[in-house]
A and B are shown apart, each in its own frame.
Chain A
């Protein structure tokens, strides 16, 4: 069919494609060297497998994430990227394997303790609280630091007021950091899509997590919005030192932004390394061109 012939054509142009991939953006080598020298893994997945009703979404996936790096996970549609992030955040429970977050091993990550473990995430499809203002949405990202009861809040006791003040200050900082001042008091549901994505990033960042999971943060954005978002993600790492795990469809963005890239295909990890290594890996080119031909070539060209 059309897709297949397109795929075959793209396969013949493989060298050209890798040249395009290579041009996606330079990452300073010094920073990467510094990172690998500081080889403490903040998140380790070993032998992760999960299946849904007999369909295997992930099998035997290992992933090691070093503190302070931007780690991308890419792969064609249905490769298991979102399953992986949902397992790390405890929304799915893996059938096999263990996850170690900052040295603590888990067979099942407790989702309700995730924030206190120092992990924050965004969602592929927006998961904001439509009935709250932008500021309140962002402030909710620090809810795990609260210790006051409803009685203290109703009575307006000093402890509750202090807690509110601390959170308001952190929220204001993030609002400024992500340039959301102009819309801070608007209901989040009234914002355009790109801004809502940014509010979700803000809600995750205000928690001051050690690990930040971004599930397709640039999906559905315009090129300008993507570049802006990439800038914010990089700035978040550089300024707050947060470790970032990034799932993204846009390969150009991923290669320019990340320190290391893992590639999933049909639930297996087929490549792992620096953007340059992954780019040159024939298995990756085959996976992208052989399975998701239409989409992959759209993105590449």
Chain B
């Protein structure tokens, strides 16, 4: 009886919760493809989508399962190069299958480099995931096979077609990207709200207690590495095929791994929404900074100064976030919403 009453009370709240995603989906499929300029799509939305997905993947591993990783960009590279090779070497492989296979390849590498997590924790684990970062970049440069013997290791995106429709234009690539992001994020959302997601959190919050109550700690950690790497791998495909169109192994360097880590720190650990807020911030922030800089200092604010000031401001922001708001933009967002809510009522 009491339980039923509670459920009845909860229902309207659920509708409220569904309203925001519904609006977002309407914007994503209605407004943006119709009205967005190709500059907005190419320079902002496509990198935003790929980085958001990568951050969702890393958040699963680091935010939810507590395993610190500095190898995200390596898993993106594995995804991108695997997709390129599957597409090149398997006749008539559908694009979606290519992406899934690329994700599975990244998951395999993720499990391999996740093995140290069975013995190492925190900072030491982060250092061991650096091995993935350096090894993958080295292997992709060293062995020409991965880039079909391109002298500088560069791969180019193939023609993107799904069910006969060409998706090579900006809108087509945007639709492909946004669909993959929505589907995978939906699956991650289901996962983190399931018993498996709670196992992730249990391992993060108290590994000893988790082990004693029967959480399969080793399996849970490797699962987190596998799923996280799968998602980051697909994000790598989006990065290479829909955003940059031409990538080299050096494009997936340690800086990119840090960038994704900063996204989830700024956006909010263990929050899916945080991954999107953080990615939006990271993508839009340099553009805003360069406009502001040009406005304030004119010609003095060249690309060198921009790069430098970007690093300084970003570094300062991360320190501020870690001290003042460890739960990131996502928590800030919640607080803002509550304040607006309390004012209107």
Q: Which 5 A-B pairs have the closest CB atoms?
A: A144-B214, A115-B214, A153-B194, A127-B209, A129-B205
Tell me if A153 and B211 are in contact (CB < 8 A): no
CB of A238 to closest CB in B, whole Å: 24
Cα A30 to Cα B202 in complex, Å, equals: 43
CB-based nearest A residue for B214: A144
User: In the complex, what residues of A have CB within 8 A of residue B223's CB?
Assistant: 150
Tell me if A116 and B198 are in contact (CB < 8 A): no
User: In the complex, what residues of B have CB within 8 A of residue A91's CB?
Assistant: 208, 212
Tell me if B195 and A207 are in contact (CB < 8 A): no
Looking at chain B's contact residues, the main secondary structure is helix
A156 within 8 A of B: yes
CB of A99 to closest CB in B, whole Å: 15
CB-based nearest A residue for B197: A153
Given A115-B212, A127-B208, residue A143 in contact with residue B194 (CB < 8 A) = no
Tell me if A112 and B191 are in contact (CB < 8 A): no
The interface of chain A, by Cβ under 8 A from chain B, is 89-91, 111-116, 120-121, 123, 127-132, 136, 139-141, 143-144, 146, 148, 150, 153-154, 156, 160, 163-164, 167, 172, 203, 207
B92 within 8 A of A: no
Tell me if B205 and A130 are in contact (CB < 8 A): yes
What are some 13 contacts across the A-B interface (CB < 8 A)?
A90-B212, A91-B208, A114-B214, A116-B214, A121-B212, A127-B206, A128-B206, A129-B205, A132-B205, A141-B213, A143-B214, A150-B227, A164-B195
Cα A90 to Cα B215 in complex, Å, equals: 15
Q: Mark B165-206, 1 if CB is under 8 A from A, else 0.
A: 000000000000000000000010011001110110110111
CB of A166 to closest CB in B, whole Å: 12
Please pick, from A127, A141, A150, A167, the residue contacting B191 in the complex, using a CB distance under 8 A: A150
Q: Which of B187, B191, B205, B214 has the most CB of A within 10 A?
A: B214
User: In the complex, what residues of A have CB within 8 A of residue B201's CB?
Assistant: 129, 131-132
Cα A144 to Cα B223 in complex, Å, equals: 17
Tell me if B214 and A112 are in contact (CB < 8 A): yes
CB of A85 to closest CB in B, whole Å: 11
B216 within 8 A of A: yes
Cα A281 to Cα B31 in complex, Å, equals: 83
User: In the complex, what residues of B have CB within 8 A of residue A148's CB?
Assistant: 195
User: In the complex, what residues of B have CB within 8 A of residue A153's CB?
Assistant: 190-191, 194-196
Tell me if B213 and A120 are in contact (CB < 8 A): yes
